[in-house]
């Protein structure tokens, strides 16, 4: 597809600093199986002890793993947001677990995403202090306003991070979770999650990406890229509204849209433009669009105008 608005990756990327780190990665041999240096660096960056860092093959891999482990340690329903990434539910159903609303007190595993997907909204974290919760923070680096950090210090919250979208490197898989303070109960959870992990979970390139993520120069690049994304987002939303689209506000580099009359996902695809149909998120009639370059926006504008003009004779006959 020539123009891809369906991906949430940072359109300013890829980050050259992370790319250089991966080019210099030694793929001829296994990484350290315990990933000591990477754990130390991530722990220092988050201000936690290294034994609270749980590495993951990807965010999706961790979703599957913690759902499986919690099915043994805390069997019961899984709470998912009303509009959310489908892997939360897929993993729960694979283990025969029922799905409940995020506020349901019977849940023994609760999923929370902030900013949310597909809408890119702020979502308040549940006040529960006992239910195991995963705060999916994958999109946190791509929020374009000032972040409002959650206080999770008194809660059983695992914070899940995967910087490949923020770096514009979605082809490189690699993630990690920051576990809660290691009380006796939480130590058993962390031990079980480590035991359920595959050997050499991360390859050399994922290690290089996650290491580069914590570097000051990478974070400076990210900050600069978000300033560019803010400008692009403003122009993209103005263009869409001028054409009659309904745009939902967001705090991220993506947002939901009702396309103008006569425009469809299929029609855009025929013109080389991919958008994310939000029906699977529970938002029938909406699509999710990421912020893209001015060149891509011009192509989207042209396609939407073509579809609107083609629909005029059809509407006249109705």
All structural domains of the chain, each given as residue ranges with its CATH number in brackets, are: 16-215 (3.40.640.10), 218-317 (3.90.1150.10)
CA distance 131 to 165: 29
**Mean pLDDT throughout 91-116?**
94
Q: For residue 132, what pLDDT is reported? A: 93
pLDDT of residue 136: 96
- Top pLDDT among 317 and 162 is at 162
pLDDT band of residue 150 (cuts 50, 70, 90) is low
Residue 183 has pLDDT above 90, yes or no: no
pLDDT at 313: 60
* pLDDT, mean of residues 234-239: 98
User: What are the pLDDT digits (tens) for 132-148?
Assistant: 999 999 999 999 987 66
pLDDT at residue 154, as a whole number: 57
User: In the prediction, which pLDDT does 155 show?
Assistant: 76
Per-residue pLDDT, averaged over 102-126, amounts to 91
Binned at pLDDT 50, 70 and 90, residue 310 comes out as confident
User: To which residue do tokens 């629909």 refer?
Assistant: 311
Which token pair is 42?
């991530």
Q: Choose among 18, 6, 65: nearest CA to 289.
A: 6
């Amino acid at each position: 597809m020539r123009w891809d608005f369906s991906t949430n990756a940072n359109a300013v990327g890829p980050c050259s600093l992370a790319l250089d780190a991966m080019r210099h990665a030694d793929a001829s041999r296994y990484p350290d199986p315990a990933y000591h240096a990477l754990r130390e660096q991530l722990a220092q960056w988050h201000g936690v002890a290294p034994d609270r860092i749980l590495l993951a093959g990807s965010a999706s891999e961790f979703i599957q793993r913690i759902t499986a482990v919690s099915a043994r340690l805390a069997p019961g329903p899984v709470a998912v947001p009303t509009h959310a990434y489908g892997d939360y539910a897929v993993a729960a159903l694979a283990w025969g677990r029922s799905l409940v609303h995020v506020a349901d007190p019977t849940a023994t595993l609760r999923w929370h995403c902030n900013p949310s997907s597909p809408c890119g909204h702020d979502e308040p974290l549940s006040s529960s202090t006992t239910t195991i919760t995963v705060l999916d923070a994958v999109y946190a680096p791509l929020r374009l306003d000032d972040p409002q950090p959650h206080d999770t210090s008194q809660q059983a919250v695992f914070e899940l991070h995967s910087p490949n979208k923020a770096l514009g490197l979605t082809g490189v898989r690699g993630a990690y979770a920051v576990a809660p303070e290691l009380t006796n109960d939480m130590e058993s959870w962390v031990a079980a999650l480590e035991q359920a992990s595959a050997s050499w979970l991360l390859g050399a390139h994922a290690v290089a990406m996650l290491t580069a993520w914590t570097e000051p120069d990478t974070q400076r690049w990210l900050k600069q890229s978000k300033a560019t994304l803010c400008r692009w987002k403003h122009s993209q939303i103005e263009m869409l509204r001028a054409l009659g689209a309904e745009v939902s506000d967001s705090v991220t580099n993506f947002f939901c849209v009702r396309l103008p009359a006569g425009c469809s996902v299929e029609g855009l695809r025929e013109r080389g433009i991919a958008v994310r149909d939000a029906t699977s998120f529970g938002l029938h009639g909406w699509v999710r669009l990421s912020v893209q370059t001015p060149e891509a926006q011009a192509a989207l504008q042209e396609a939407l105008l073509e579809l609107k003009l083609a629909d005029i004779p059809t509407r006249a006959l109705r």
